A and B are shown apart, each in its own frame.
Chain A
Amino acid sequence: MPDQLHALIPRLREICGDDGVVTDPMGRRTYASDGIPYHAADPGVVVLPTSTAQVAAVLRLCADNGVPFVPRGAGTGLSAGALPRTDGVLVVTSRMRRILEIDTANERAVVEPGVANLDITRAAAPHGYYYAPDPSSQQVCTVGGNIAENSGGAHCLKYGFTVHHVTGLVVVTPSGDTVRLGGKAAEAPGYDLIGAFVGSEGTLGIATEITVRLTRAPQKVSTVLAAFATMDAGGAAVSAIIGAGVLPAAVEMMDALSIEAAEAAVACGYPPGAGAVLIVELDGPTADVDAQFAEVTRMCREAGAFEVRTATDAAERARIWKGRKSAFAAVGRISPAYIVQDGVVPRTALPRVLRRIAELSAESGIRVANVFHAGDGNLHPLVLFDDTEPGAEERAAEVSGRILDLCIEAGGSITGEHGVGIDKACHMPAMFSADDLAAMDLFRRAFDPLGIANPEKLLPTPRLCGERPRVAKGAHPLVAEGRAELF
């Protein structure tokens, strides 16, 4: 630990209490990485504050001493955004877990940042409301982490991302100042700082209190599973559905390899021989859902679906979703090692890009499984390889990188929901010009003139961008424990 950091420890203990400061090497090591194990660094010191005032005092101390800090929620991030600094303070929100208010009259919940995403829905459900953004890590991931990543979920096609559901934030800035932005009202005077803070990946400060919108639970939910011989046929069904003006809650697709893996892992019982499976979920007023349901099943058949199953109750729905939700973990099991990619293409480019991915796979001999949010063109290709085979890792990394290039060439994005973090910082120049990145840096510096808030994340730095992207091995621990589904 650098001397300068060492000197701060007594002060940190005064602020957070003895049990709120972790200095021993074993304790610190448990925070070395987030959801991407191949980026790891032991934090200089870990603090576990319990209040906004404590967070503010910690950040002020950091600012006064020019010490970097990194915010961390549950550590499920998939872009190494919470990768610690060996010369800095890791600020973990796990002791700020109170739901402060469920206000159904105003359709709002007020929570501390360490509250797990699903706990809001659990608290609101008895009143007929829920918190709409539903990342599949929602049992574990924190609302603070969701704010930082602007997280989405399968249902964000219709209901939007985290940013569409936040109306108030208490933020401690990198100077240690506490600002209360917005509240229960939908708008606040001045520049939209809330809108710009959401998705800032911990680089603008720490959110210590969050007011979110609650959504009324729909009258009816119906789910369709359609099996197709080919991905092209499935893709045609997606285009037909969206083109017809239907806005489903979710549209998910799996290819043959991921269906096969899911079948092996959880015996989901999807139609045998399917080259593609499409899941379409509709929700809303009963009459609307029923009308759209008929239309969707018809369009699936017209596009060549050889089997269409429907679910109208929770148990049937769970059966349909089972294969989809287990797909990532299942694919992880059929390969010694894999890379999870997250890229976006315009929906109309999906068939073309999927074909190119198949070609890349054939050319390189690296298998790629496709499980994705088809409705919004968000691909999550899993690039599979055997890490005991010499050169395989490099080839897989090459294929993974090429997939991102395909996304950019198609007019898409290098990340739809996992964020840039450290993992994709070096891909930013492929999507944005130097001028674009300079404007982003100006914005960042307005919040963080000293450059101490989660440094080297989100924007490329020369030091960082010499390195090559790396790969994951085995199932993610959360997935292995059955606490989260990667999808």
Chain B
Amino acid sequence: MTSEDGPAGTDPVAADLRAAGARVRGGTPGDAIAGRVPRYVAAPADGAAAGALLAAAARHGLASVPRGNGTKADWGAPPLRCDLVVDTTDLTGIDHAAGDLVAAVGAGTPVADLAAVLAAAGQRLSADPVVAGSTVGGLVATGLSGPRRTLHGPLRDLTIGMTTVRADGTPASSGGRVVKNVAGYDLAKLHTGALGTLGLITSVTFRLHPLPAAVRAVSATAAAPATARAWRHAVAASTTAPTGVELDWPADGPLTLRVLLEGAEDGIEARAAEVAALLPGAATTAAPPPGWAALPGAPGATLLKAAVPPDAAADAAAGVRAAAAAAGTAADVRGSAAAGVLFAALPAGADGAAAAGAVDGARTAVAALGGSLTVPHAAPPLREHGVDLWGEVPGLALMRAIKDRFDPGRLLAPGRFAGGI
């Protein structure tokens, strides 16, 4: 379909959106965001066009929801309104300053494209591709991090600059192109994981790391969560400096703890041996298995995120699984044991009431461990049944105040975020 096709072709609102510098077409059921079919889908050509587009949308009172490749389009709560899907896939471009180990990247750039360009220069963005097929903007707006956060920090720590467009079309940048920089508020922190409710991310600047010379994965199967807990602690208390410590516990399989080591070729065997000695029965491989660090479960599954004090990671995994089983469903659990941030997947087709029961039970178990549980994605049966995706959110009044200042007309993905933000 070309930009002039469909009902949007002669529509004056569409003409206005198009005048902003965007490809515009009418929305189709395939564009629905959590069941809401937009009237328009518009792809701005660049950052300036994105500003003009949102300004035009605001003039017409259209509520907008940003979308990259759409791999997580139905995450969060269903937006209360969705008149316009802002398709970011034309906001591409990679400005890679290899000597400075930074890259400024258009939000619509596929993460895989970025990785390929960086790898050609022997570098990488040290964020795990938790969902395959994501754009950079989608990665940042959902803000999830995998096990590599152990050494390099979560995604937000790798972000050193960001440009966004507010609901009224005003662009705003914060941070910059240097890693060390304390000038002004770091607004990128707010946009990371905000599901587009505070602004449309148009460009992100990352700090990069060199690709490691040597890699090993040391994995062992724990008979009980208490064993995994002791292992996690032993690895953390060792001085082997792992890049990641992953806990992987599929619903129908054993609990595996997997330690990723990266570094100089010379020392890697010795480090791997040191870690293996901490995990009885461990096997060492030249690379982690394919799909490691990805979110658990099949695409479309309901996704839970538990964040607990790190020592409680294995107990949290056990608690979430037990809650799922007690509710009549089953959870695959995977995530960073070292950081204490785990994901659990419930089958997309799971009965709504069972899934809701699993969420409640898991939330209680995780809260008892001093953590919190959210539901980044609810599959349709759970969504229709009804579920509190966020649980208790400390600081919600401040979050509302920020939303009110940034988007007083509630035009950006209204209702998608915590507390109805």
Task: Decide yes or no whether A439 CB sits under 8 A from chain B.
Answer: yes
Contact with A along B84-119 (1 / 0, CB 8 A): 000000000000010111100000000000000000
User: Which residues of chain B are near A185, meaning CB under 8 Å?
Assistant: 307-309, 340-341, 370-372
Contact B182 A419 (CB under 8 A): yes
For A382-418 the 0/1 string (1 means CB < 8 A from B) is 0000000000000000000000000000011111111
Known: A183-B309, A189-B392, A446-B402. 13 other contacts (CB 8 A): A107-B310, A188-B394, A189-B374, A199-B186, A243-B99, A346-B178, A376-B180, A412-B178, A413-B176, A419-B182, A435-B170, A439-B187, A440-B185
Do A446 and B187 have beta carbons less than 8 Å apart?
A: no
Q: Is the CB of B185 within 8 A of A443?
A: yes
The answer to whether A270 has its CB under 8 Å from any CB of chain B is no
Cβ contacts A to B, 13 pairs, < 8 Å: A185-B341, A187-B307, A191-B190, A288-B271, A291-B264, A413-B180, A413-B182, A416-B181, A432-B173, A436-B173, A439-B164, A440-B187, A458-B184
How far, in angstroms, from A415 to B183 measured CA to CA in the complex? 6
| B-contact 0/1 string along A157-192, CB 8 Å cutoff | 000110110000000010001011111111111111
Please tell me if the beta carbons of A348 and B99 are within 8 angstroms of each other in the complex: yes
Residues on A with C-beta less than 8 A from B270 are 285-287
> Nearest-CB distance from B52 to chain A (Å)?
14
Known contacts A347-B99, A439-B166, A447-B401; is-contact A107 B236 (Cβ 8 Å): yes
Contact partners of B339 in chain A: CB under 8 A: 186
Task: Choose, from A37-45, A211-219, A251-259, A303-311, the stretch at the interface.
Answer: A211-219
User: Judging by beta carbons under 8 Å apart, are B170 and A439 in contact?
Assistant: yes
A433 within 8 A of partner (CB):
yes
- The answer for the CA separation of A414 and B177 in the assembled complex, in Å, is 12
Interface residues of B in 376-406 (CB under 8 A from A): 390-399, 401-402, 404-406
A152 within 8 Å of B by Cβ?
yes
- Find out whether the CB atom of B405 lies under 8 angstroms from the CB atom of A446: yes
Residue among B170, B177, B395, B404 facing the most chain A CB atoms (10 A cut-off):
B395
Known contacts A150-B182, A216-B239: A193-B399 contact under CB 8 Å: yes
CA A442 – CA B408 in complex, angstroms? 11
**Contact across chains for B102 and A105 when beta carbons are under 8 A apart:** no
The answer to whether A239 touches B394 (Cβ under 8 A) is: no
Interface segment among B7-15, B153-161, B282-290, B295-303: the answer is B153-161
Q: Which chain B positions have C-beta within 8 A of A424?
A: 183
Closest Cβ–Cβ distance, residue B334 to chain A (whole Å): 16
Q: Which residue of B lies closest to A376 (CB)?
A: B180
Q: What are the residues of chain A within 8 A of B97 when measuring CB–CB?
A: 346, 348
Q: Does B267 contact A (CB under 8 A)?
A: yes
User: Chain A residue with minimal CB distance to B372?
Assistant: A189
Are B239 and A285 in contact (CB-based, < 8 A)?
Answer: yes
CA distance A290 to B264 in the complex (A): 9
In-complex Cβ contact of A346 among B154, B177, B371 (8 A):
B177
Q: Is B172 an interface residue (CB 8 A)?
A: yes
Chain B residue nearest to A459 in the complex (CB): B184
Query: Would you call B61 an interface residue if the criterion is a C-beta within 8 Å of the partner chain's C-beta atoms?
Result: no
Contact of A188 among B181, B263, B307 (CB under 8 A): B307
CA distance A132 to B123 in the complex (A): 25
B186, B190, B312 — most chain A CB neighbours (10 Å): B186
Please give the distance in Å from A303's CB to the nearest CB on chain B.
15
Tell whether, in the assembled complex, residue A431 and residue B176 are in contact, meaning their CB atoms are under 8 Å apart.
Answer: yes
| Bound CA span A447–B402, Å | 8
Whether a CB of chain A sits under 8 angstroms from the CB of B134 is no
Q: Which residues from A are CB-within-8-Å of B401?
A: 446-447, 449
CB-contacts of A275-309 with B (<8 A):
284-288, 290-292
Stretch at the interface among B19-27, B32-40, B207-215, B353-361: B207-215
Closest partner residue, chain A, to B159 (CB atom): A195
CA distance A284 to B143 in the complex (A): 29
- Counting CB contacts under 8 A, is B294 at the interface? no
Chain A residues near B252 (CB, 8 Å)? none
Report the bound CA distance from A141 to B303 in whole Å.
43
Distance in angstroms from B204 CB to nearest chain A CB is: 15
A378 part of interface (Cβ distance < 8 Å) = yes
Does B48 have its Cβ within 8 Å of any Cβ on chain A?
Answer: no
- Find B185's partner among A107, A243, A433, A444 (CB 8 Å cutoff): A444
B350 within 8 A of A: no
**Distance in Å: Cβ of A77 to nearest Cβ of chain B:** 12
Task: Count chain A CB atoms within 10 A of each CB in B185, B233, B419 and give the residue with the most.
Answer: B185
B154–A187 touching, CB < 8 Å: yes
- In the complex, the answer to whether A218 meets B241 with C-beta atoms within 8 Å is yes
Collect the chain B residues with CB atoms within 8 Å of residue A414's CB: 183
Residues A411 and B99 in contact, CB atoms below 8 Å apart: no
Q: How many residues of B contact A (CB 8 A)?
A: 90
Residues of A within 8 A of B404 (CB): 446
**What B residues does A417 contact at CB under 8 A?**
180, 182
Q: Which residues of A are in contact with B by a Cβ distance under 8 Å?
A: 103-108, 128, 149-150, 152, 156, 160-161, 163-164, 173, 177, 179-193, 195-196, 198-200, 216-219, 239, 242-245, 247, 284-288, 290-292, 344-348, 373, 376-378, 411-420, 424, 428, 431-433, 435-440, 442-447, 449, 458-459
Cα-based distance from A187 to B395 in the complex (angstroms):
13
Q: Whose C-beta in chain A lies nearest to the C-beta of B407?
A: A442
Q: Give A35 Cβ to nearest chain B Cβ, in Å.
A: 15
- Chain B residues lying within 8 Å of A447, measured Cβ to Cβ, are 398, 401
Shortest Cβ gap from A284 to chain B (Å)? 5
In the complex, which residues of chain B have a beta carbon less than 8 angstroms from the beta carbon of A284? 241, 263
B179 at the interface (CB under 8 A from A): yes
Does B183 contact A192, Cβ atoms closer than 8 Å?
Answer: no
**B237 is an interface residue with CB less than 8 A from chain A:** yes
Does residue B171 face the partner (Cβ distance < 8 Å to A)? yes
Asked whether B267 lies within 8 Å of A346 as measured between CB atoms, the reply is no
Select which of B180, B393, B394 is within 8 A of A377 by beta carbon: B180
Residues of B within 8 A of A196 (CB): 185-187, 189-190
A residues less than 8 Å from B307 (CB atoms): 185-188
Report yes or no: B185 in contact with A199, Cβ–Cβ below 8 A. Answer: yes
Assess whether B418 is interfacial by the CB under 8 Å rule: yes
In Å, the complex CA distance between A290 and B270 comes to 13
Least CB distance, B304 to chain A, in whole angstroms: 12
A190–B192 CA distance with the chains assembled, in angstroms: 10
| Cβ-based interface call for B3 (8 A) | no
Cα(A419)–Cα(B182), bound, Å? 6
On whether the beta carbons of A245 and B213 are closer than 8 Å, the reply is yes
Name the contact of B341 in the complex, choosing from A164, A186, A245, A286 (C-beta under 8 A): A186
Judging by beta carbons under 8 Å apart, are A288 and B186 in contact? no
The reply to whether B267 and A290 form a contact with Cβ atoms under 8 Å apart is: yes
- A443 to B339, alpha carbons, bound, how many Å? 29
Q: Given A177-B397, A185-B370, A438-B172: A288 and B263 within 8 A (CB)?
A: yes
A190:B263 contact, CB within 8 angstroms: no
Q: Which residues of B contact A245 (CB under 8 A)?
A: 122, 210-213
Q: Which partner residue on chain B sits nearest A449 by CB separation?
A: B401
Residue numbers in A under 8 Å from B398 (CB-CB)? 173, 179, 193, 446-447
A85: shortest Cβ distance to chain B, in Å?
Answer: 21
Q: Inside 8 A of B102's CB, which chain A residues have their CB?
A: 346
Asked if A411 and B176 sit within 8 Å, CB to CB, the answer is yes
Given contacts A185-B372, A348-B100, A446-B398, contact A416 B190 (CB under 8 A): no
Cβ of B194 under 8 Å from chain A: yes
The answer, among B173, B190, B193, for a CB contact under 8 Å with A443, is B190
Tell whether A376 pairs with B263 under 8 Å between CB atoms, given A186-B154, A190-B393, A413-B183. no
Q: Determine whether B364 belongs to the interface, using a CB cutoff of 8 Å to chain A.
A: no
Interface centre among A128, A161, A287 (most CB of B within 10 A): A287
Contact of B174 among A161, A200, A348, A436 (CB under 8 A): A436
Q: How far is the CA of A428 from the CA of B305 in the complex (A)?
A: 38
Instruction: Report the separation of the CA atoms of residues A292 and B268 in the bound assembly, to the nearest whole angstrom.
Output: 13
